Structure 1
Amino acid sequence: MRPPAPRRTTALLAGLGLLLAGCTTAGDDAGPGESGLLTGPGITETTISLGALTDLTGPYAALSTSIINAQQLAVDEINADGGICGRSLQMVVRDHGYDVQQALGAYTEIAPSVAAMPQLLGSPMLAALLDDLAADQMLTFPQSWDSTLLGRPEIQVPGNTYDVDMINAVDYLLRSSLVAEGDAIGHVFFENEYGENALSGSTFAAEREGLTIVEQRVMPTDQDMSAQVTALREAGVTAVLFSAGPAQTASFVGVAAASGWEVPVIGSTPAYASQLLETAAAPALEGLFVMVSGAPAASSDIPGVRELVESYQSAYPGESIDGGVLSGYGVMEFLAEALRIACDQGDLSRAGIIAAHRTQGLVEGDLGMAMDFSDPNRPPSFDSYLLRPEVGADGGLVEIESASRAPAVDDYTFPTSG
């Protein structure tokens, strides 16, 4: 399938494109060509190079592989359809193994030769590179949904944020009568940017709804969640929010189920991987776990999703489908449209690509993820799907509820860093 130009409502950023078209940017080593097109790093007469810093050998290798495969699939389809601005797209991929120093070295290597970055995976790696990305005016789509990244024009959170997902998760628990006013809810979370941002959302929602949050902080190296299960059960929580990794999720639900504690567990997107359904934790996951996500399930009957799954399985036979496929492909779809707009505006410099991206108002792609990219101070989406693990389903998930937003989201103040 070819990524179509997403349907969009262009934001009224009056004169911004014309202003940027008249100047080059710091670090840009190319100016207007014979056609008058302003270019910059990563743009040649025949190619547009895009960078990816990802984790192909560390704890998120399975997810990273899915994202890279999906983005390469989108690139291949775009190139088969003639490319963008008379140029072919090419991916420049580097593996950081979820190591900050490796990520810094890889960025130094590829940054001078790429126009934008459709993938930067890992909150610690992103935190270490924020100043470089700003100085280089590098439009970057991180695989991070941390709302403290808002307010940075060069950083595009690829959907609703961790805190919004947790607000929507608490709303789901209340609407489903799984918790009631006065109850205590556990929240197990990584002691890092991801976990702390998720906690901001759960704390806000709990205070608003008359609930109490019982915190359990864990580290990515903590694999056995027996102590956390015991602590939360003794605290009398009636549900658990989970913002850690897949290994911690499998341990927590497995221990809870084995001890006879049938507590509902709602996890952030990074807390689940479809590969968990190939382990002994599968029955517990099917019985206790729900994932809150800005993207639909790969098993969705949305036509664009079905077409993507078929194309992915054809291009990568034997590879499993997970949320990274939809996320990676969707990001490339949105970045491709920004590049098309930048070409139309005559400015493929890095600053021009950012400006073009920010003209995209309501973007309704074919994958069930409506986004508004016009305001860098707000997430592009506030809606969350509720998904349940199921063995045999594409991506290992099926939909419980379609995308919706809790009323409390409108009253939430984002903890931006910008």
Structure 2
Amino acid sequence: MNMRTVRIGIAAAVVACLAAGCSGKATGGGGESGGVKTGPGVTKDTITVSALTDLTGPYAALGKGVTQAQKLYFDQLNAAGGVCGRKVELLVRDHGYDVQKAVAAYSEIAPRSAALPQVIGSPITNALRSRLESDKLLTIPQAWAHTLLGSRYIQLTGTTYDIDMVNAVAFLVKEKGLKAGDRIGHIHLEGDYGQSALAGSRFAAEKSGLKLVEQQVKATDADMTAQAAAFRKAGVKAILVSVSPKQAASLAGVTAAMGLKVPFAASNSAFAQQLLATPVAPVLEREYYVMTAATPFSADVPGVKKLAGDYQKAFPGQPLDSSVFSGYTTAAIVGEALKKACAAKDLTREGIVTAHRSAKAFDIGLGGAPQDYSQWTRPASRAGYIVKPDKAALGGTRVHQEPAESDLAKSYNPPAG
């Protein structure tokens, strides 16, 4: 979808919304209850937070895991007494990774929301950005494009796509023997996700003396044969992957069929545990590496093991992967902000954001690299795990490298969005 189409779609959704009399502006709430200032989404009994997720589009597997993990967190929070004597309710809307649907859904849920612990998609978050800032809603995207940095109200967790690719290239040079003059492929989605990842790969390739072979695809593309053929013809020594899990599976399958056996280094959004139940599992287990800020469930971290047990009890038979970790931790970010806002007796939207931004460090016992949420112009972290798919490992991945920031990443500054 090009930006002109997106702008037309947004305009149409806004016009339709205005005709129906809805608004993203804060309505209801406000005032004071029990000595605590309150705002939209907060009543005397309930705090409502909302999720704009993908349950039917290209990131449906991610959306399901994130949403179920967030339900688990808020159920546990409520079982422990809630926040400020109130139960926290999670309102969920599926946008199917469609910007127009997301805009319409936001218009419906925003007036009832105190915060948004989930918005899937960089394009969707960017399309809503001005309204999120106007509405002063603490928002945690399941998206890591560096173009989302710079807003006090939008909190990116962990590393951004560009930094992941910088760390990936550094890893491939150090561990896989890439050297100056070698060609390296990068398959990426059009739009914010792919362009952010590409900013990192271009920087890292130039600094390392590598020649970057770029292949762009659309979210609706399913067959990666043409892209694999282009990489094979170019003689690439490794491939960077910044697409959806299904597209990554297609790429892995067709490269193997062509006899192109090279290492892959993927963005966190380019793998899902469900791929290990497909015929490409052996390819992924052999030479597929994933850059992620999420602690894998196979890591020896007591808090992560407890989360795994709690999730499997709540959702038996469901995949246990990075989407679960990400969903739970982002819900916890909002939960901790609500607790701090309660202690400050200010559950207005601005009060919740202020409480969150007071967190120089954030640790709920789930491991991972240190993160800083007190600023918003830089990524919360520049260090992340490198994991490998493994059917035998809890959650489908095992640790290949503990959280680390490469020297290359230390010299990198994200370009202006």
Q: TM-score, normalised by structure 1?
A: 0.91
Query: Bigger CA drift: 172-181 or 371-380?
Result: 172-181
Distance in 2, matches of 1:85 and 1:205, equals 48
Opposite residue 101 of structure 1, the aligned amino acid is Q
Distance in 2, matches of 1:83 and 1:310, equals 22
Distance in 2, matches of 1:34 and 1:129, equals 30
Distance in 2, matches of 1:58 and 1:166, equals 25
Distance in 2, matches of 1:245 and 1:400, equals 22
Distance in 2, matches of 1:58 and 1:249, equals 16
1:391 alignment partner in structure 2: 391
Deviation at 1:28, TM superposition (A): 6.1
2:402 alignment partner in structure 1: 402
Query: Bigger CA drift: 408-417 or 199-208?
Result: 408-417
Opposite residue 267 of structure 1, the aligned amino acid is A
Deviation string 1:301-350 (CA, Å, 9 cap, x unpaired) is 21111110000001111111111100000111121111111111121111
Deviation at 1:165, TM superposition (A): 0.4
Query: Is the 8 Å Cα contact of residues 28 and 350 (structure 1) preserved in structure 2?
Result: no
Opposite residue 393 of structure 1, the aligned amino acid is A
Deviation at 1:288, TM superposition (A): 2.3
Deviation string 1:27-81 (CA, Å, 9 cap, x unpaired) is 3644442533211000111111100011112222221111111001010111111
Distance in 1, matches of 2:160 and 2:293, equals 8
Q: Secondary structure at the match of 1:361?
A: coil
1:120 paired to 2:119: yes
* Matched ranges for 1:155-304 at <5 A: 155-304=154-303
1:12 alignment partner in structure 2: none
Opposite residue 377 of structure 2, the aligned amino acid is N
Opposite residue 391 of structure 1, the aligned amino acid is K
Number of positions where the alignment pairs a residue of Structure 1 with one of Structure 2: 392
Deviation at 1:158, TM superposition (A): 1.8
Deviation string 1:214-264 (CA, Å, 9 cap, x unpaired) is 111111122111111121122121111010111111111111112222110
Distance in 1, matches of 2:30 and 2:120, equals 31
Distance in 2, matches of 1:97 and 1:331, equals 20
Distance in 2, matches of 1:203 and 1:95, equals 34
Opposite residue 399 of structure 2, the aligned amino acid is E
2:411 alignment partner in structure 1: 411
1:380 paired to 2:380: yes
2:345 alignment partner in structure 1: 346
Deviation string 1:174-204 (CA, Å, 9 cap, x unpaired) is 1103311221111110011000000001111
1:368 paired to 2:367: yes
2:95 alignment partner in structure 1: 96
Query: Bigger CA drift: 288-297 or 33-42?
Result: 33-42
Opposite residue 97 of structure 1, the aligned amino acid is G
Distance in 1, matches of 2:232 and 2:33, equals 69
Question: CA separation of 1:34/1:331 partners in 2, compared to 1, >3 Å: closer, same or farther?
Answer: closer
- Compute the RMSD of aligned alpha carbons: 1.4
Query: Is the 8 Å Cα contact of residues 146 and 161 (structure 1) preserved in structure 2?
Result: yes
Question: CA separation of 1:350/1:236 partners in 2, compared to 1, >3 Å: closer, same or farther?
Answer: same
Distance in 1, matches of 2:408 and 2:291, equals 16
Query: Is the 8 Å Cα contact of residues 289 and 388 (structure 2) preserved in structure 1?
Result: yes
Distance in 1, matches of 2:346 and 2:144, equals 29
Distance in 2, matches of 1:288 and 1:216, equals 20
Question: CA separation of 1:196/1:34 partners in 2, compared to 1, >3 Å: closer, same or farther?
Answer: closer
Distance in 1, matches of 2:59 and 2:50, equals 18
* Matched ranges for 1:30-179 at <5 A: 30-179=29-178
Opposite residue 44 of structure 1, the aligned amino acid is T
Question: CA separation of 1:374/1:401 partners in 2, compared to 1, >3 Å: closer, same or farther?
Answer: same
Distance in 2, matches of 1:186 and 1:116, equals 39
Query: Is the 8 Å Cα contact of residues 116 and 140 (structure 1) preserved in structure 2?
Result: yes
Q: Secondary structure at the match of 2:252?
A: helix
1:357 paired to 2:371: no
Query: Is the 8 Å Cα contact of residues 277 and 396 (structure 1) preserved in structure 2?
Result: yes
Deviation at 1:364, TM superposition (A): 2.3
Query: Is the 8 Å Cα contact of residues 126 and 148 (structure 2) preserved in structure 1?
Result: no
Query: Is the 8 Å Cα contact of residues 28 and 349 (structure 1) preserved in structure 2?
Result: no
2:327 alignment partner in structure 1: 328
Q: Secondary structure at the match of 2:319?
A: coil
Query: Is the 8 Å Cα contact of residues 115 and 349 (structure 2) preserved in structure 1?
Result: yes
User: Among the aligned pairs, what percent are the same residue?
Assistant: 46
Query: Is the 8 Å Cα contact of residues 189 and 218 (structure 1) preserved in structure 2?
Result: yes
* Matched ranges for 1:2-21 at <5 A: none
Query: Bigger CA drift: 109-118 or 288-297?
Result: 288-297
Distance in 2, matches of 1:98 and 1:266, equals 24
Opposite residue 376 of structure 2, the aligned amino acid is P
Query: Is the 8 Å Cα contact of residues 26 and 110 (structure 2) preserved in structure 1?
Result: no
Distance in 2, matches of 1:408 and 1:365, equals 29
Distance in 1, matches of 2:230 and 2:56, equals 33
Query: Is the 8 Å Cα contact of residues 151 and 416 (structure 1) preserved in structure 2?
Result: no
Query: Is the 8 Å Cα contact of residues 149 and 416 (structure 1) preserved in structure 2?
Result: no
Question: CA separation of 1:177/1:65 partners in 2, compared to 1, >3 Å: closer, same or farther?
Answer: closer
Distance in 2, matches of 1:266 and 1:34, equals 51
Q: Secondary structure at the match of 2:380?
A: coil
Question: CA separation of 1:145/1:110 partners in 2, compared to 1, >3 Å: closer, same or farther?
Answer: same
Query: Is the 8 Å Cα contact of residues 39 and 349 (structure 1) preserved in structure 2?
Result: yes
Q: Secondary structure at the match of 1:92?
A: strand
Consecutive unaligned residues of structure 1, counting only runs of 5 or more, are: 1-25
Q: TM-score, normalised by structure 2?
A: 0.91
